[in-house]
Every structure is written in C-alpha cells, then in structure tokens.
Amino acid sequence: MKLCVAQTKPVKGDISGNIVEHLGLIKQAIEEQADVIIFPELSLTGYEPELAVELVMHLDDSRLQPFQDLSDANGIIIGVGLPTRGSNGILISLLVFIPNQPRQVYSKQYLHADEEPYFIPGRKPVLIRWKERTISFAICYEVFVPEHACSVIQNGADIYIASVAKSAKGVVRAYKRLAQIAGDFGITVLMANSVGYQDNFQSAGFSASWSKDGELAGQLGDEADKLLLFNL
C-alpha cells in the first residue's frame, strides 16, 4: 500500500478554489499510484474558526462529487478537511471518500480550548479497513491526547494519519509526539500539515512520515502543493 499526505496552502474561505487545488494534487497522487491521500485540517476552507458558521458544508454538497468520482475511478481513498454541521453545533471533520462505498466522516473528538467557542466534539473514531490494513485518523490537537491513540490502537489500527494545521512551534511538538506513537505502538504514522497564514498563526508545513520503529521516514519543507509518499 502506498500512502500519501498532501501539503496545501488554503485560500481563506475560497472553497471552490481550494477544491481545484485538491483535485490537482489528487491526480498527481494517482499518477504516483497512491492508495490513500489525506489533506490537512479544514483544508477546503482554511483553518478559520470564526468563519466556521459561514463555511460549514453539507455532506451532499454537489461540489464534493468530483472527489467521489476520482476515488471510484482510480481505487484511491481521499480524505479532505471541512467544517460540518452536527445536531448541536459545528464539527471539525475529515470527509473520507472510499472507492465505491459510502463516504465516512471522522469528526475531531478532542478540541483545543481555543476551539470550544466555535465547535463541538465528535463522538467516535473512524477506522477504515483497506488492502489488509486498518487506517485511523487524528485531527491536530488530538495527537497530544494519549487516550486518542490508545483507543484506535485497541481497535486494531496499524496506520495513524494526522490531519493538522500547525505553526512551526506546533510542528516541533508534533514531531516528537508522533514519533513516540509510531515507536511505542509499532505503527506507521503520517502527518499532513498546511502552509500559509490561517486564523491568527502561520501554518508551517513540514508534513512528515514515521516508520514503525519511530524513525522519521520522510518530510517536506514549507512549500505548498506538495505530496509526501510512504510505501508500506
């Protein structure tokens, strides 16, 4: 299985433009014969908590159909970040398109204190079984919550992919924690980070991957529109 994370530079609130960027990167991943491609946190809108009410997307939004079409036609799992509406508020979600299967939605279960005025937490993990592997997802702050990784490991995950929006300082902390998760649990770990100014910080890029022994296997710099691949 070939895993891929995308490093994007979202334009604030420009969903249509960001979708075009995503589709271009997905097509590149398909050319590289990737089986999975995951994008950063809230990648379709940018990480903009104060605008979440305006930017919330419905799961049946027609603008999302090209992702399903590419997934079905090329046998690739695609995960994009967007705000979705729950019964009591807005969720930070990763919408996962699976070839010829119903879409899955993973919503961030553990919110940072700064996010609580704008979002509500999700309720359960999402694990996807694909090509004899079990893929789990984390969204940004969750990587620092021990209970999160423990839960997905107990449910059989052997791949842990973090979709994040982190500053340079946050990337340093995330590298240390994600290497620990990989080494302690003996699983493959990847991180998809964005670049550019979002909310009130500069997202720093440096998306990365770690092997089962906790060693850094690959990383990007701070450039936009880049892919990082990891071949299992």
**What is the total count of domains within the chain?**
1
Residues paired with 82 in a beta bridge? 93
What pLDDT, in 10s, does the model give residues 154-190? 999 999 999 999 999 999 999 999 999 999 999 999 9
Q: How big is the chain, counted in residues?
A: 232
DSSP 3-state of 49: helix
179 alpha-carbon distance from chain centroid: 17
pLDDT given for residue 106 in this prediction: 98
pLDDT given for residue 176 in this prediction: 98
Q: Is the pTM of this model over 0.95?
A: yes
Looking at residue 195, which CATH number applies to its domain? Answer: 3.60.110.10
What pLDDT, in 10s, does the model give residues 95-150? 999 999 999 999 999 999 999 999 999 999 999 999 999 999 999 999 999 999 99
pLDDT given for residue 208 in this prediction: 98
Ramachandran class of 132: left when φ > 0, alpha when ψ lies in -120 to 50, beta otherwise = left
Domain that holds residue 81: 2-231
- What amino acid occupies position 187? I
Q: Which pLDDT band holds residue 199 (cuts at 50, 70, 90)?
A: very high
Q: Which pLDDT band holds residue 61 (cuts at 50, 70, 90)?
A: very high
Backbone angles phi, psi at 66, to 5 degrees: -60, -30
**178: which residues sit within 8 A by CB, 6+ positions away?**
143, 160, 162, 189, 191, 208, 210
